[in-house]
Amino acid sequence: MRVNLEKVPTHIRGLDDILEGGLPRGRTTVINGGAGSGKTLLAMEFLYRGALAGEPGIFISFEESTEQLRQNAAALGWDLPALEQENRLFLLDGRIKSDTLISGKFSLKGLLAIAAGKSREMGAKRIVIDALEVALRLFDEPRQVRSEIHLLNDWLQQAGLSVILTVRPPSRGGVSIYEDFFESMGDCVIVMDARVADQISTRRLRVVKYRGSGFGRNEYPYVITNNGIHTAPISTVGLRHKPLGEKITTGIPRLDEVLDGGYRRASCVLFAGMPGTGKTILCSTFVAAACSRGERTLYISFEESEAALVENVLSAGVALRPHIESGHLRLLASFPEAMGAEEHYSRALEAIEELSPAHVVVDAISACERMGGKQAAFEYLMRLLNACKERGITVLLVNQTIRKDDFSEISGIGISSMVDTVVRLTYKEDYGEITRLLHILKSRGSRHSNQKREYVITDDAIQIRDLYFGEGEVLTGAARQVQEAKDLAEAQRLDYDIQTKELELKQLHLIREQMNSGFAARTAIRGGKAFRRRPDDSGGER
């Protein structure tokens, strides 16, 4: 069965990767999705892009009028009437009029006759049957339903069209008697759903079956953009990454020394530190240097507006404005909660495709959780990093940590495996004076100094001071190699710590929740007395 399975590309961005080439040609794909999941849109995009690529198609709708379909498509910039006029697309309203009387037995043969006739006439290669379960509701007996499905299936099989059949799952956990039939009809079965988490809606897609073919088995987030559906498979992360490139200056000569020449092109550099440690300034110094060399940079800001950011770094002597004006630097500023992670991602990707930058900055990844939780942030960053790594783009991530010594925060939101270099910024207070310290925690594919370096933020850039001897000592040669082995062990220990701390945190949250509800209950019982306790009142409490 695995041999010679021909595929038909959907031309939907990202979907063909998940499907390892596309849908099975000449066979049936069942899309199972609830209201608002976008299954009708996906099916229409399959036909629309197919028609543009020279494969005419037929859309049979049991739920929406053809006029509604045209309008919905027009909102995405798809001109269906033009394709209809050229006989590359045919929309058929298969709905039964509500005032139709029913007397005795009937079948969907009328529809099949139309589909057969029309597909011959226009040389159709694709067909969509949208909301089949609506049509099947007309039939009372399960036996009739079964025979209609067989009728349809037989015709589809001999017609040799590439089919998408969409069905809605039974509402509220009910069991649909058709479900097994649908599943068995499809050589490929895709489930789509829309859910709302933290007031931000996420849509996900999953291939549950694909006869004779491999496929991505994860749940893939997708977004309905202003020109169609867009999905990006996370599982393909790492497959097409460009190797790390040559060293490029950080913009600060002494930091280049610490990093044995600078950051590596196409690598991912993470800047972790508490507020006020100068993460944004450090990034911007690099950006300004890159733009001066004529390299384009996209700066994604979740913390500050363009004006505020430019102003802020200018006070440290880093001028971004000229680079924005010359077109080398583009700022993409928005609040994380303004839209869902998928939309943030597709906006970033659009900007990357338009600008084709050499470098991308995300300031700050710690804000990404506000897109709809940890998972959303993880997905956004993974996909963005993946897109950049595939294009050989250097990525600078800013991560704001809250406490001084929380290692779990430094690695970022589960993306540590994608990070090549970690620059940690801290400060300590001695003798009434604040000392800022910079420390390279890791630098993949490059030797680097393990020492902490003191730095100051002046109004003329960041200045790295001479070697700092407060902790550790100068390491060279074999001693450094030993240190590297130690570092590796330390990294493993940290990973373990991260996991345990996450667990602890969950438990603490739980305990606090319980305490809160307990407190609320006690306050409710006592009423106003809670705040004016007499000595005898507290007796039972302690």
Partner 1 sequence: MKPNKAQSAQEKSGAPPLYRLRLFIAGDEPNSAQTKVVLTRLCDKRLRGRCEIQIVDVFEDYQAAIDYGVSVVPALIVESPPPVRTIVGSLSDEDKALAALGLAKEGGHER
Residues that bind partner 1 (CB under 8 A): 92-97, 99-111, 113-114, 116-118, 135, 138
CB of 62 to partner 1, least distance (A): 9
CB of 395 to partner 1, least distance (A): 53
Amino acid at residue number 257? E
Q: At what angle do helices 374-390 and 341-355 cross, to 10 degrees?
A: 20
Helix or strand holding residue 104 (H, E): none
User: DSSP assignment of 307-324, as one string?
Assistant: HHHHHHHHTTT---HHHH
Q: Name the CA radius of gyration of the chain, rounded.
A: 30
Q: Of the two residues 144 and 483, which places its CB atom closer to partner 1 in the complex? A: 144
Q: Of the two residues 99 and 325, which places its CB atom closer to partner 1 in the complex? A: 99
Q: At what angle do helices 39-52 and 66-75 cross, to 10 degrees?
A: 80
Q: Of the two residues 21 and 94, which places its CB atom closer to partner 1 in the complex? A: 94
CB of 89 to partner 1, least distance (A): 14
> How far apart, in Å, are the Cα atoms of 115 and each of 39, 56, 197, 526?
21, 13, 41, 73
Amino acid at residue number 311? E
| 274 class by beta-carbon count within 10 Å (0-12 exposed, 13-18 middle, 19+ buried) | middle
DSSP code, position 2: -
- How many Å apart are CA 144 and CA 104, to the nearest integer? 12
3-state SS assignment for residue 56: coil
For residue 374 the two structure tokens come to: 């940890």
Q: Of the two residues 101 and 175, which places its CB atom closer to partner 1 in the complex? A: 101
CB of 128 to partner 1, least distance (A): 15
Q: Of the two residues 102 and 488, which places its CB atom closer to partner 1 in the complex? A: 102
CB of 104 to partner 1, least distance (A): 3
CB of 103 to partner 1, least distance (A): 4
> What is the bridge-based pairing of β-strands 23-24 and 162-167?
unpaired
- How many Å apart are CA 385 and CA 435, to the nearest integer? 33
Q: Of the two residues 139 and 378, which places its CB atom closer to partner 1 in the complex? A: 139
CB 206 within 8 A of CB 220: yes
Task: Return all residues near 9 (Cβ < 8 A) that are at least 6 apart.
Answer: 16, 21, 22, 53
Q: Of the two residues 138 and 333, which places its CB atom closer to partner 1 in the complex? A: 138
Q: Of the two residues 161 and 415, which places its CB atom closer to partner 1 in the complex? A: 161
Phi-psi region of 32 (alpha: psi -120 to 50; beta: other; left: phi over 0): beta
Q: Of the two residues 94 and 251, which places its CB atom closer to partner 1 in the complex? A: 94
CB of 110 to partner 1, least distance (A): 4
For residue 85, report the phi and psi dihedrals to the nearest 5 degrees: -65, -35
CB of 113 to partner 1, least distance (A): 4
CB of 117 to partner 1, least distance (A): 3
Spell 232-267 as b/e; 16+ CB within 10 A means b. bbbeebeeebeebeebbbbbbeebbebbebbbbbbb
Q: Of the two residues 107 and 305, which places its CB atom closer to partner 1 in the complex? A: 107
CB 38 within 8 A of CB 164: no
CB 320 within 8 A of CB 356: no
Q: Of the two residues 92 and 324, which places its CB atom closer to partner 1 in the complex? A: 92
| Cα 83 → chain centroid | 33
Spell 136-155 as b/e; 16+ CB within 10 A means b. beebeeeeebeebbeebbeb
Q: Of the two residues 91 and 464, which places its CB atom closer to partner 1 in the complex? A: 91
CB of 57 to partner 1, least distance (A): 16
CB of 127 to partner 1, least distance (A): 14
CB of 25 to partner 1, least distance (A): 25
Amino acid at residue number 537? D
